[in-house]
Structures are given as structure tokens and as C-alpha cells.
Amino acid sequence: MDLLKRFIKYYKPHKKIFILDMIAAFFVAVIGMGYPIITRYMLNDFIPNKKLNLVIICGISLFLIYLIRMFLRYFIQYYGHIMGVRMQAEMRRDMFRKLERLPYTYYDEHETGSLMSRMTNDLFDISEIAHHGPENIFIAGFTLIGSFIYLAIINYILALIIFACVPLLIIVTSHFRKQMRKAMRESKVAMAKINASLESSISGIRVTKAFTNTQKEEEKFEVSNESFVKARSSAFNAMGKFFASSQFITDVFNIIVLLVGGIFLYNDFIDIADYSSFIISVNMFITPINQLINFVEQFQNGTTGFKRFLEIMDEEEENVIEGNEICPKLEGDISFEHVSFQYKSSKKGILNDISFNIPHGKKVALVGPSGGGKTTICHLIPRFYDINEGTIKLDNKDIRNFTLESLRKQIGIVQQDVFLFGGTIKDNILYGNLDASEEELIDAAKKANIYEYIMSLPNGFDTDIGERGVKLSGGQKQRLSIARIFLKNPSILILDEATSALDNTTELLIQKALDELCKNRTSIVVAHRLSTIRNADKIIVISEGKIKEEGTHEELISQNGAYKLLYNLQFKDSNEDEENKLHNSLKMNS
């Protein structure tokens, strides 16, 4: 019942079209009953009594009525589909808004291709049932009731015998419908998986070609493809049983009419004209039953798709308690006080009782082995994830007091894996501040050391960069992302291995832009290349979710601890002895 209520909600903005569609469907159903009724009159009266003029009038009348029905059917097909498409657009809009508000953890567990399948295939099936569902049920239902009444008028005993077979049809179809529902859902899941596999393979096509692993990708795709074929085969098997059994029972209706009607005619319980009319009219009774049977597949696809749509709509949004305070322009003091955090899917804590302070305007570097918790710390400041214990403060205020939007406006993030949107260079830089002026745009590009390159292009700022910036080099992508942050002008800057994937020459160019970006801002730098953070005001060594050491470069070197071993590993010939010393040092400090 709740499912129906939520579905009906999407009809409300389209009441006018829906009502007109139902009125048109009603008249289509009424006109459909005209032919057998007129046929009975012709067989019983007009033809036996030589009323040729009435026969001609009936023929002309039927032609005009069918002409009207043609326009009614056009209205139903066109405006009905328009209504369905508009409802589909509204559901897609609602789903997109929902996806925008779901937490990071949701995307950790769901593939993009699977979500795309729900956004496209499932919503298409829903729009089809939104259009065809009410009118099919209305036309078929009205015709079914009207035709039964008319058959009863001709011969109520024969009509009741036919009607007695309907419960058998309901029992059989209900049995196979359950199988079909399950098979359809499995089919939808398989379609989502094949879309996810396809999205992954196409996105990584350059990597595939570079490693000459085309055959491997084809094998991976074939696994999903075969899974889809298997699921669809199961669905078609259930559909085949459903339609074959239901059509067989409706065929039995004709046999009953033929045999029982023949016996009635033989015993003079019915005359030849009514018997002929009954045989013609019984198809008027069987046709809507077949329509409803054929509609079941579409209904099953639509309801399955709507349930999958609701699964997303019912997901919890960012599970954080927002404050109602607007975060002001920050000075940039950052304080972690006994912070602990673990992902829901993980039994082991990622961070364990972390505490440190960063005064405003200072640069702090986070170093240590991969998986130690450096990036997690960066994600906790803008509340991409919420901590389990402790407090994070900005300018001595708990970040949970602020609204998420105002908090995140104060934080800029430059990552190693830069994401650029399809579109122009201008579009991507303006993403940092959609209201920026042309002068601010140019200034941001100059500060990021990308302006000269942009102006060397034929279309300048209006140059299309391709999907995810595929037409740009790694360094150019990074500089665009830095220009984006210049426009945002945040109080706090997070550089998450921003230069680790670049060559030395490009790194030096980008490091200048980053140094400019860090001026007068509190900066947190996650780096593997220790040469880039020697001038940091403080360096914090993190491993296994704990702080092992902290201090300046010189202080940490003099301590002869984990940092010095990390430093030596990078700037001296690496050997097993040094690595073992590092491992033991981190263990001792834990």
C-alpha cells in the first residue's frame, strides 16, 4: 500500500493530463463494445428483415466512431507517454538529488555503473508502467465488465459457465507471477552488474591498452554478460510458463463456447443469431483478459524498477547531526582532541586516540606508511565521515556546530587523483566559485601557473578538455585543480599527495603554485616525498592509526626515530636492514 501511495505522488503534478487520458481510455473501451452489439442487431433484425438502409447506416456510423477512436488513441499514446516521461524526469531529478546527499560510505560500496542502471533502465520501465498501467487496467477492466454484462444479456447461463473459468486463470497466473517477479529482480541486478562492468572497462580503456590486457577485460566482461544471459533466461522461462499457461486457459474459453453453445443451440436454448453473436462477443471478453495478462510483464518490470528506485530514496543521507551555525571566515586553528574513527565495514579502528594542534597559518605535514590514517584525518575535517569519539575544533569551535555547507566552503582540497568534469577549462576552474568574475578567473589561472598554456590554445578558456580532462596532461590537470582552489579561497588547505604522481620538472612548477596557495592559510600536507615537506612548520608521523612522532624536520632527524628512517630510505640506497629498523621503530612507538 505504501508503495502505491509513493507512486501516486508522482501523478499529482499531471492531474489534468491523467484525467483526460482516462476519459479517452473510457471512450476507447466504450467504442470497442460497439462492433459486437451492432453485429447482434444486424443478425437478429436488420438482415432477416431486409433493412438494408440500417445496415448501411451502421457501417457508416462504425466508420465515424472508429475515426474518433483513432484520434483518442493518438491522444492516449502521445500525451500518455509525455506524462510518463515527465514523471520519469521527476524521479530522475529526485534520485540525483538523493545521490548528491548520500555519504561517502555509500559510494565506497556501490559501483557507478549499477547506479547508472537504476537511473536509466529502471526509470524507463517505471515511466512505461506510469503511462500504460492505469489506462490498460481501466480499458481492460471496463471492457471485461461490460462484455460480461452483454454476454449475460445474450445468454446468462453460457456467460456464467465462461466466467466460472476465470478463478482457474487467476490461480494459475498468480502461481507463475511469483516466479516471474523473482526472476525479473535477478535480471535487474544482472543488468546493473553488466553496466558496472562496462563503465569500469570503458573508463579504464587507456590502462587496458597500455598493459595490453584487452583479452583479460573481455573475459571479465563475459562473466557479467553470461550472468546477465543466465538471469534473463530464467526470467524468460518464468514468462514463458506464465503466458503459455494463461493463453491456454483463455483458449479453453473458446472451446467451452463452441461445445456448450453448440449443445444449447441443438436443444433450442439459444437461436442461431444469438449463438453467432455470442461467439463474436466472447472475444470481447477474452481480449481484455489477454491484455491484462500481457500487461503483467510490463507491470512486473515497472514495480521491480520502482522498488529499486525506492531503495536509493530510502537510503540514509549523510548521517551527521548538522549544527545550525554558519561557519564564518576562519582564522584556521585546527585541533584534534582524542579522536578515534573506524569505518562501519571495518572491525579495526583506523584512528585511535589522535590528538594534535595546528595554529592558524601554519603548514603541517602528515607522513608515514600507506594505510596509516593520513588521508582519513583529511576527510574528517570537512566531515566526509563522522568520528566515533573525541572532538575536532576549528578556531576553538566544534565542527559539529556548523552547517555542512558553510563548513566545507572554508576548506579546499587538492588530491593526487584530480577529477575534472567534462566541459571547458573555464567551467572547471569556475567550479571553485561559480560567481567569480572574468578578472578573478584569469588571476586564479595565473597564480596556478596555467594561464600561459590556456592562452596558447585556439579556444583559450573555452577549450573542451574531454571526459575527465583526458586531453590534458597530469600536470595540467593538477594546475587546473589548483586554480579552482584559488577561486574558492578557503581558510584551510588540504594537499593530499598533490604532487606524488608528477615528474620532477612538473612537480617544481606545481610546487610554486602550491606555495603561493598556502600563503596565509592553514595547510595540511600529506606526502610520501619527504623532500617536499622539509620546510613544514611541523611534521607528524602516523602509523597504524596513531601518532608516532611530531616536530620539525631537524627535530625529528635528531631523534633518530621512525622519521629519520623514512628519510634515509628515500635518500639513501634502500636495503632490508633499514626497512627492518623502520618497522621495529614504529612497533616500539605503538
User: Is residue 103 within 8 Å of 318, Cβ to Cβ?
Assistant: yes
Residue 560 lies in a domain: no
Residue 298 lies in a domain: yes
Cα–Cα dist 179/235, whole Å? 8
Residue 274 lies in a domain: yes
Paired residues of 357 in beta bridges: 335
SS (H, E, C) 172-227: HHHHHHHHHHHHHHHHHHHHHHHHHHHHHHHHCHHHHHHCCCHHHHHHHHHHHHHH
Letter string b/e over residues 476-506, b meaning 16 or more CB atoms within 10 A of that residue's CB: bbbbbbbbbbbbbbbbbbbbbbbbeebeeeb
Beta strand 334-341 with 389-394: parallel, antiparallel or unpaired? antiparallel
User: Is residue 363 within 8 Å of 518, Cβ to Cβ?
Assistant: yes
The pLDDT score that the predictor gives to residue 337 is 92
The pLDDT score that the predictor gives to residue 588 is 52
Enclosing domain of residue 102: 88-313
pLDDT band with cut points at 50, 70 and 90 for residue 339:
very high
Residue 169 lies in a domain: yes
Residue 163 Cα distances to 59, 138, 168, 270, 280, angstroms: 31, 19, 10, 18, 16
Among 106-110, 156-160, 311-315, 361-365, the least confident range: 106-110
Paired residues of 393 in beta bridges: 335, 398
Mean of pLDDT over the chain? 81
pLDDT of 286 strictly over 80? no
Residue 508 lies in a domain: no
Residue 383 lies in a domain: no
Cα–Cα dist 447/439, whole Å? 12
Cβ neighbors of 149 (< 8 A, separation 6 or more) are none
Three cell numbers, residue 249 = 486457459
The pLDDT score that the predictor gives to residue 504 is 58
pLDDT band with cut points at 50, 70 and 90 for residue 574:
very low
User: Is residue 13 within 8 Å of 91, Cβ to Cβ?
Assistant: no
Phi, psi of 545 (to 5 degrees): 75, 15
The pLDDT score that the predictor gives to residue 334 is 92
Residue 181 lies in a domain: yes
Highest mean pLDDT pick, 24-38, 176-190, 205-219, 330-344: 330-344
Read off the pTM.
0.66
Residue 281 belongs to domain with CATH number: 1.20.1560.10
Coil/strand/helix, residue 85: helix
**pLDDT (tens digit per residue) in 403-419:** 888 888 888 888 777 78
Cα–Cα dist 269/522, whole Å? 98
Cα–Cα dist 147/283, whole Å? 9
**pLDDT (tens digit per residue) in 230-239:** 877 877 787 7
**pLDDT (tens digit per residue) in 456-514:** 988 899 988 887 777 888 788 888 888 888 888 888 988 887 665 555 556 666 777 77
User: Is residue 270 within 8 Å of 264, Cβ to Cβ?
Assistant: yes
Cα–Cα dist 434/429, whole Å? 9
- Which secondary structure element, helix H or strand E, spans residue 391, and what is its range? strand 389-394
pLDDT of 195 strictly over 70? yes
- Which secondary structure element, helix H or strand E, spans residue 338, and what is its range? strand 334-341
Among left, alpha and beta (phi > 0; psi -120 to 50; other), residue 246 is alpha
Residue written as cell 489534468? 16
pLDDT of 579 strictly over 60? no
The pLDDT score that the predictor gives to residue 206 is 55
The pLDDT score that the predictor gives to residue 390 is 92
Nearest to 541 by CA among 576, 590, 493, 496: 590
Cβ neighbors of 126 (< 8 A, separation 6 or more) are 87, 88, 91, 302, 305, 306, 309
Cα–Cα dist 225/193, whole Å? 9
- Which secondary structure element, helix H or strand E, spans residue 585, and what is its range? helix 576-589
pLDDT band with cut points at 50, 70 and 90 for residue 357:
very high
pLDDT of 391 strictly over 90? yes
The single-letter DSSP state of residue 345 is: T
Number of domains observed in the structure of the chain = 1
510 HSE (CA, 13 A, CB side):
27
Cα–Cα dist 253/166, whole Å? 9
The pLDDT score that the predictor gives to residue 136 is 81
Percent of the chain with pLDDT over 70: 90
The single-letter DSSP state of residue 45 is: I
Residue 111 lies in a domain: yes
pLDDT of 94 strictly over 50? yes
The DSSP code sequence of 115-174 is HHHIIIIIHHHHHHHHHHHHHHHHHHHHHHHHHHHHHHHHHHHHHHHHHTTHHHHHHHHH
Cα–Cα dist 194/190, whole Å? 6
Q: How many residues does the chain have?
A: 590
Other C-beta atoms lying within 10 Å of the C-beta of residue 442? 17
Residue written as cell 590537470? 477
User: What is the average pLDDT across 525-529?
Assistant: 80
SS (H, E, C) 251-315: HHHHHHHHHHHHHHHHCCCCCHHHHHHHHHHHHHHHHHHHHHHHHHHHHHHHHHHHHHHHHHHCC
